Amino acid sequence: MPNRSAYVTDLKGLQGECSANYLRLTRLLGALEAGETREVELVSHGRRVGELCLKLQERAPYTSIVRVSQRGILDAYLETPRMRVHLYHDVRMAEVTDFQRRRHFHGRYRYPNAQMHQPDEKLQLNRFLGEWLEHGLAHGHSLDLPELR
């Protein structure tokens, strides 16, 4: 019988991912005001494949809320990813707080579970956000952000 140890939350990894995502998001958001949206056209091999959409829902001195979504060529066939991200300005971290309309992710889940969350679901969601934003920074084009052209 295999010895299965319980999953231990990678707090250092999660904090690192949240810090990197804060930097990525603030670079992409630029000087947006609450209620404004930035659309970053995603290009692969010279062809448009979709748009990364960032809507700054709220901006406050210590916390901002951003809705991140994507539109693309497969919208008619697949549910497009969307999430809500809280930016904590005092600690310079960004955390996914809502993904596909599901909220409040725990740092660790028992597995298996009724919702089929992975043991490290929260880390995976924040890692996915990081890869998504990094792709937008590397392959995106925005008319109002010269550094993304």
Q: For 34-48, how does the pLDDT look when each residue is reduced to its tens digit (9 = 90+)?
A: 999 999 998 878 888
> Given strand 47-59, what is the order of strands in its sheet?
102-103, 93-99, 82-88, 63-72, 47-59, 37-44, 140-141
Nearest to 77 by CA among 39, 112, 50: 50
DSSP bridge pairs for 102: 99
Question: 128-145, pLDDT tens digit by residue?
Answer: 999 999 989 988 877 566
pTM over 0.75: yes
Task: Give the H or E element holding residue 2.
Answer: none
User: What is the pLDDT tens value at each position of the chain, 149 positions in all?
Assistant: 455 566 666 779 889 999 999 999 999 999 999 999 999 998 878 888 889 999 999 999 999 999 999 988 777 677 788 999 999 999 999 999 988 766 666 555 566 657 655 667 788 899 999 999 998 998 887 756 666 65
